[in-house]
Chains A and B, each alone.
Chain A
């Protein structure tokens, strides 16, 4: 418990440092940091509709964050969530417009296909990782580009809505994820995301499988010695992570856009990964960090109209957070002055 608190205090310091540097940058462009932050807050939580908007942005970040958490806990760095999200989004759209089904069932089938698409997409890097030890970071990053371009190709050349933009035909109303309120596109996706976070947290904490996977993540040689099939677990972890990434895409399609289009949901996969890292791979923590990033995104819409700061300042702050979280991790390693000693001394 104490250790957990300490681990998080590092993350909080990282965020504070990032915000402080962000403030300095804002001052450099002759704008008032308080004004910018107040505008952000107003943009994110100013009224009912804004809060709903923030939660709408939070949903895909949260689900992608959970996908990343699954990978991180199992020792796999899935940087391909963005790509899995695109494929899941496209797959769900395809079921949505091309496969008429009764209401309810249509949603379930479309989501399932999205999940399968995400898992299938990551299964290629997962196979190479398990079979040949190919670093999954590189292969999943590369798979993003292929995914984005592949879905663009499918959209523009095979399934383009006649006369429309670079987008597929709209999905049938039977495949819509129900909305929660009349005044916002906020939908059941948020509930699914929250439930998933709770489930994954419980899974790692309380099941034998979750224990085995965590051990593979934190001490792979120990896990191997203890009789856990490390390669198999690694493969399954990547698959599960990709499946959740696909789910995130499916929810975006069925809940928000009701079609697939080029440039669909940009950057949610990466934001989710950062949210998960900032939460130390904890799904519950990711709820908080995803909300933070969702609020930044939504709040930033107001920035350009109400202040001189560009919306890109949000990207800068995120980059600063990544840097200071990495620095924290490095410093923590250094701070444990006995780490090297323990490595040598039995």
Chain B
């Protein structure tokens, strides 16, 4: 590490002893990182481990308090992104920075416009964008407006921007967080093409399957410190989890008692349309009993969202019924459904699940603002709300400074715990949990699963929707698989075969496919 031999020409990037503090908080502590030329180097770690901070330092967006940076074997002071770019670095940020009203080509050349006679030369920009797009296999239509494009394509444009600036080492910060599995696979293809052409890729993720699939080397960060750098082939998923979390985490199937509850939710022939008015949920029929966890598996976008929205009153059903202990949810308002006994952990928690700008107490009050002891005669008792918040922070291990902490300051996992705390203490008979642990740290995932099992043990009927099959195999008593809006079949959670479920998720399981004509 400490030598400055000429062999460093083989390394694209070297970070040596990087420390970065924000006030008293140490985001990176004495981090070393060596990235060899021509490899895909994954950086993994829980939320807040300091991955983005480290990359921002490398790219010149932040200045380290200590340590130095060597690019292509040369000591470099990366004072600003321009320095990084001229050294051949490029960064695709976690959030995209495109101008929606401009065309793809204009975005690619934004800030380095090709000019002729003082005016922007659109024709050349378009031609060059097309050439880059073809050379690297990143399909885009240069003249299209960005506002009309999907997130996956927006990401391609971000990558093209970086390529247009001559990058040889490309940093991608959690690129797959916004992609569908199909889009992710295409991205990996592109990344492999880059390294085949002698370029270098630094890839941040906390999806371990992806890391296993695509990377050559893995570096693990934990609490701002460098834990290990190893060839991916030497590691198992369990090794990575242990290094990220600092202890063993079990995602084995949870042991459980057999229960024999009453039917709480009875869904019959339920249909619903999506926002484009096309049928998105087709003829769903199933039940959920008290003391039972039913899982809904499927690739995202196969009708699960619509199912959850219909059950919670956020979307009208076009046909069918969903009886919750005698009341038909399809005929009720959201308020009446909650009254009837629904607790709902929504999939898009930042939009639906919380008011990020409000305090924890205030978020926990939602749905209780008209009930004692939180309010009497329409007057709120903020003391009761505060006490409730203190209690829940303790019980659900929410990492916050206190009940008045603003929710948007919390990490994703802790925001999810605020939602769970509110919904799980509702005394509702039916729990609808959409993506219980999406974006939640691995350590916190385990405790969320514990809490869901506790809800089962207390006799509630639980419906868990998840795109992570592992999670359902851990939790569910029965798993229903959805494809193209339909429930393709049911498997027992205890003896489920993930191979077979995978086939059903892809719509490939014959014999179970209903023979109705698709509409």
Contacts and interface: CB of A to CB of B under 8 A. Distances in A.
Nearest to A339: B95
B334 A224 contact: yes
Contacts of B334: 224-228
B94 A222 contact: no
Interface string A120-164: 000000000000000000000000000000000000000000000
A331 B298 CA distance: 41
B354 interface: yes
A268 B380 CA distance: 34
A346 B350 contact: yes
A8 B28 CA distance: 33
B158 interface: no
A228 B174 CA distance: 35
A209 B94 contact: no
A306 interface: no
B219 to A, nearest CB: 20
Contact of B406 (A3, A212, A224): A3
A261 B96 CA distance: 55
Nearest to A210: B380
Contacts, number: 98
Given A208-B375, A342-B350, A218 B357 contact: yes
A342 B414 CA distance: 13
Interface in A212-241: 212, 215, 218-219, 221-229
A209 B375 CA distance: 11
B208 interface: no
A208 B353 CA distance: 19
A229 B333 contact: yes
B350 A225 contact: no
A345 B367 contact: no
B404 to A, nearest CB: 8
A210 B375 CA distance: 12
Nearest to B151: A344
A344 B178 CA distance: 6
Contact of A218 (B52, B94, B355, B370): B355
A211 B362 CA distance: 9
B152 interface: no
Contacts of A224: 314, 334, 352
Contacts of A219: 354-358
Given A3-B406, A344-B178, A346-B438, A225 B369 contact: no
B338 interface: yes
A274 B243 CA distance: 54
Interface string B168-184: 00000010011000000
Contacts of B416: 346
Contacts of A344: 94-95, 177-178
Interface in B440-477: 440
In this complex, the member of A3, A218, A222, A339 whose beta carbon has the largest number of chain B beta carbons within 10 angstroms is A222
A80 to B, nearest CB: 26
A341 interface: yes
B335 interface: yes
Nearest to B366: A226
Contacts of A1: 404
A221 B348 CA distance: 10
Interface in B362-406: 362, 365-367, 369-370, 375, 378-380, 382, 404, 406
With most chain A CB atoms within 10 A of its CB, the pick from B94, B338, B339, B362 is B94
Given A218-B355, A219-B358, A222-B366, A228 B335 contact: yes
Contacts of B365: 211
Given A208-B378, A211-B365, A345-B94, A221 B352 contact: yes
Contacts of A227: 333-335, 337-339, 367
B379 A207 contact: yes
A208 B380 contact: yes
Contact of B439 (A206, A340, A346): A346
Contact of A345 (B177, B369, B380): B177
A84 to B, nearest CB: 27
B344 interface: yes
A220 to B, nearest CB: 10
B517 interface: no
A225 B276 CA distance: 21
A207 B349 CA distance: 26
A225 B346 contact: yes
Contacts of B369: 208, 211-212
Interface in A1-60: 1, 3
A223 B351 CA distance: 10
A159 B518 CA distance: 69
Nearest to B335: A227
B412 interface: yes
A272 B45 CA distance: 51
Contacts of B358: 215, 218-219
B95 A343 contact: yes
A225 B312 contact: yes
Interface in A292-346: 339-346
Contacts of B128: none
Contacts of B337: 227
A3 to B, nearest CB: 6
A215 B354 CA distance: 10
A342 B408 contact: yes
Contacts of A218: 355, 357-358
A207 B365 CA distance: 12
Contacts of A207: 375, 378-380
20 contacts: A3-B406, A207-B378, A207-B380, A208-B375, A222-B352, A222-B353, A222-B354, A224-B314, A224-B352, A225-B314, A226-B338, A226-B367, A227-B335, A341-B94, A341-B95, A342-B356, A344-B94, A344-B178, A345-B439, A346-B412
Interface of B: 52, 94-97, 174, 177-178, 312, 314, 333-335, 337-339, 344, 346, 348-358, 362, 365-367, 369-370, 375, 378-380, 382, 404, 406, 408, 412, 416, 435, 438-440
Interface of A: 1, 3, 206-212, 215, 218-219, 221-229, 339-346
The 8 closest A-B pairs by CB, nearest first: A340-B95, A346-B439, A219-B355, A227-B335, A226-B366, A208-B369, A225-B352, A227-B338
Given A211-B362, A226-B338, 18 more contacts: A208-B370, A208-B380, A211-B365, A212-B369, A215-B355, A215-B366, A222-B355, A222-B366, A224-B352, A225-B314, A225-B344, A226-B366, A227-B337, A344-B178, A345-B174, A345-B439, A346-B348, A346-B438
